[in-house]
């Protein structure tokens, strides 16, 4: 869709995001305080900005790895078929793992990814999502940590895109079609 056919209204400010990332990092640091090393797994591509900011705030020894999963393509709706496009490079067996997701919508992607990673036998595995849309949930799954609960709106910014656009916005914006 042509980017001229929609406008973006600010939903969550950059300042609010920064404050919430800092508080999430404190909670996560406390939870994993006894870890030898935390493996932070970012789900590409939408989480890359969030994971960078969150990792800088974590006061823990950590390693960062990425997994790319897709259930959207260039669509606004989940296909409910989760494809792994890039798997982890490192080993997570017996390790503490934090999965970082941009947004939990229907729950299919997070459910699939956690199932895949649990099969690799980590010591502990938890999830942190920047955004949660509980009204869209089709699978009973929750992130241990959530930045913001949002209504059923299509959002962009802070790493989240629409057809590969608007990832570079410093805030979360609601897409409004003309």
Please tell me the distance from the alpha carbon of residue 123 to that of residue 40, in angstroms, as a whole number: 13
Q: Are the C-beta atoms of residues 65 and 43 closer than 8 Å to each other?
A: no
Q: Say which residue the tokens 């640091």 belong to.
A: 29
Please tell me the distance from the alpha carbon of residue 126 to that of residue 123, in angstroms, as a whole number: 10
How far CA 74 is from CA of 77, 83, 85, 111, 113, in Å, comes to 9, 14, 15, 21, 20
Active site residue 105: yes
* Active-site pick, 105, 132, 152, 161: 105
Active site residues: 105
């Amino acid at each position: 869709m042509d980017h001229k056919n929609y406008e973006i209204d600010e939903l969550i400010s950059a300042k609010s995001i920064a404050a919430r990332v800092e508080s999430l990092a404190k909670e996560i640091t406390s939870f994993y305080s006894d870890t030898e090393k935390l493996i932070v797994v970012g789900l590409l591509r939408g989480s890359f900005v969030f994971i960078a900011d969150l990792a800088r705030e974590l006061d823990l020894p950590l390693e960062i790895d990425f997994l790319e999963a897709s259930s959207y393509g260039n669509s606004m709706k989940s296909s409910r078929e989760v494809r792994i496009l890039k798997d982890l490079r490192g080993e997570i067996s017996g390790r503490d793992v934090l999965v970082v997701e941009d947004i939990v919508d229907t729950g299919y992607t997070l459910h699939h990814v956690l199932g895949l990673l649990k099969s690799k036998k980590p010591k502990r595995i938890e999830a942190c999502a920047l955004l949660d849309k509980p009204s869209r949930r089709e699978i009973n799954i929750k992130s241990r940590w959530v930045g913001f609960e949002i209504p059923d709106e299509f959002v962009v910014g802070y790493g989240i895109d629409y057809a590969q656009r608007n990832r570079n916005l410093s805030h979360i914006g609601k897409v409004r079609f003309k």
